């Protein structure tokens, strides 16, 4: 090999060109050495990902693989120089991420900055996600900086059904706890003779529509059916259901805190609400089970009092709307329009029925949308998803999302196998 006595890191562009000629890659001398001025230091830092993506953008798979092997061999022969430069010899290898909740083998040494990029290759035909790329992270220990090479299979979307089951258990538990808190709150409803309804611009300006609240719940039911259809046909239905359960449970857990801490007077005289005692603990549990089984809906014969700050109906309608619009293709304009119309009309009907103050609906809409956007921003951004700050402040998010690499594509397929007679007829 040319200039074998001289350190590779000190090679000039001409020496790199000579090495490429010796290795049988003379066709790429002009691209690598003349156009991009690749010297010895650049050769040691070159990865297969660099060969594939712009500005090099090699397209011949055989040349890419053979050049990658030659680079790996050269780097292995100069391991000492790589360590001095803070690089690693195995920078071109691709390792898959093993199953299980390990957040891609992160250690807990502290915050880390990402020094590389993930390469994600998407096929046009089947849009099967696969990729390779070295993700280098730096960790500091005892004042010395050491680099570890982290390999990730970008675009990996593990269904992890057991986590989805845990999220479903979480939201069901929160709903049960919410129902019990509603029973306690009902015992503390302020007397309307002492605490009349608070002034509200919307409620004072718009006359009450008696049937409006039933229409709001009808909007919620339609949105629920739309989401269930999307969930049934979506390829990554386990991830969708897990995200819905975790977000819905978190918002309702926050609602438990707000309505327990502050008891507002009823928003209208039409509500025949008064503090009511359910006796012993068994009576409270029975009433909570009745609310829980009816999902707190008047359509199911459930009537509650005192559960204000903030509107649970608004939370459900808004969350379902955002999931419908997020996990359907952007060009499904009709579905998105119907979803938003149902969301906005549902909110209007809640206010028109005078079942909640305007501030209840506003806070519910704001909290639900912000939490949805924050969650998905973290889930779609790898740098935040595996940061130490995310693990501390959002431990449940880190647990549920650590093996979901990147945005979830909107891909659909029929979830059931073809019946036997269809297999006979159409194969």
Q: Which residues are catalytically annotated?
A: 313, 356, 360
User: Token digits for 114?
Assistant: 């990402």
Query: In whole angstroms, how far apart are CA 210 and each of 207, 301, 381?
Result: 10, 16, 46
DSSP 357: -
**Gap between the Cα atoms of 65 and 109, Å rounded:** 35
State the residue for tokens 């501030």: 359
Secondary-structure percent of the chain, ordered helix, strand, coil, rounded to 5: 55, 5, 40
Q: Is 204 exposed, middle or buried (0-12, 13-18, 19+ CB in 10 A)?
A: exposed
Tracing tokens 């691209």 back to the chain, one arrives at 31
Q: Are 93 and 47 in contact (CB under 8 A)?
A: no
Q: How many CB atoms lie within 10 A of CB 349?
A: 23
Of 212, 201, 87, 211, nearest in space to 149 by CA: 87
Q: Which of 342, 338, 340, 327 is nearest to 228 (CA)?
A: 327
Question: Which structure tokens are listed for 14?
Answer: 């001409």
Q: 52: helix, coil or strand? A: helix
User: What is residue 280's DSSP assignment?
Assistant: S
Residue 119: strand, helix, or coil: strand
CA distance 258 to 119: 44
Please choose, from the candidates 313, 269, 291, 268, the residue with its C-alpha nearest in 3D space to the C-alpha of residue 185.
Answer: 291
């Amino acid at each position: 090999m040319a200039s074998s006595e001289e350190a590779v890191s000190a090679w000039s562009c001409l020496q790199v060109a000579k090495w490429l000629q010796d290795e049988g890659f003379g066709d790429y001398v002009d691209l690598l050495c003349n156009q991009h001025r690749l010297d010895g230091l650049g050769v040691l830092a070159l990865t297969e990902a660099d060969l594939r993506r712009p500005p090099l953008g090699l397209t011949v798979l055989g040349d890419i693989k053979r050049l990658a092997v030659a680079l790996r061999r050269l780097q292995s022969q100069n391991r000492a120089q790589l360590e001095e430069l803070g690089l690693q010899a195995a920078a071109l290898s691709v390792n898959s991420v093993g199953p299980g909740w390990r957040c891609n083998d992160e250690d807990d040494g502290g915050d880390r900055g990402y020094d590389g990029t993930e390469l994600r290759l998407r096929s046009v035909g089947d849009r099967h996600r696969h990729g390779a790329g070295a993700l280098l992270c730096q960790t500091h220990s005892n004042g010395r900086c050491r680099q570890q090479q982290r390999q990730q299979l970008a675009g990996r979307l593990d269904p992890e059904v057991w986590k989805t089951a845990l999220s479903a258990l979480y939201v069901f538990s929160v709903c049960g706890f919410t129902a019990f808190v509603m029973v306690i709150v009902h015992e503390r409803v302020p007397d309307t003779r002492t605490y009349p309804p608070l002034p509200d611009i919307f409620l004072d300006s718009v006359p009450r529509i008696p049937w409006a609240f039933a229409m709001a719940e009808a909007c919620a039911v339609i949105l629920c059916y739309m989401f269930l259809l999307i969930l049934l046909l979506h390829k990554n239905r386990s991830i969708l259901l897990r995200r819905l359960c975790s977000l819905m449970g978190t918002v309702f857990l926050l609602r438990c805190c707000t309505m327990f801490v502050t008891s507002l007077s009823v928003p209208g005289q039409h509500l025949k609400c008064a503090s009511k005692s359910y006796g012993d603990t068994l009576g409270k549990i029975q009433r909570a089970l009745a609310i829980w089984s009816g999902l707190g809906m008047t359509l199911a014969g459930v009537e509650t009092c005192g559960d204000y700050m903030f509107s649970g109906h608004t939370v459900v309608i808004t969350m379902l709307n955002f999931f419908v619009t997020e996990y359907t293709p952007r060009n499904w304009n009709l579905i998105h329009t119907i979803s938003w119309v149902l969301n906005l009309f549902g909110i209007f009907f809640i206010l028109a029925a005078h079942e909640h103050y305007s501030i209840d609906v506003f806070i519910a809409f704001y909290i639900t949308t912000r939490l949805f956007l924050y969650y998905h921003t973290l889930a779609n951004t790898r740098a935040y998803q595996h940061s130490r700050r995310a693990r501390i402040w959002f431990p449940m998010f880190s647990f549920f999302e650590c093996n979901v690499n990147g945005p979830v594509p909107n891909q659909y397929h029929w979830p059931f196998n073809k019946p036997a007679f269809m297999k006979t007829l159409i194969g």
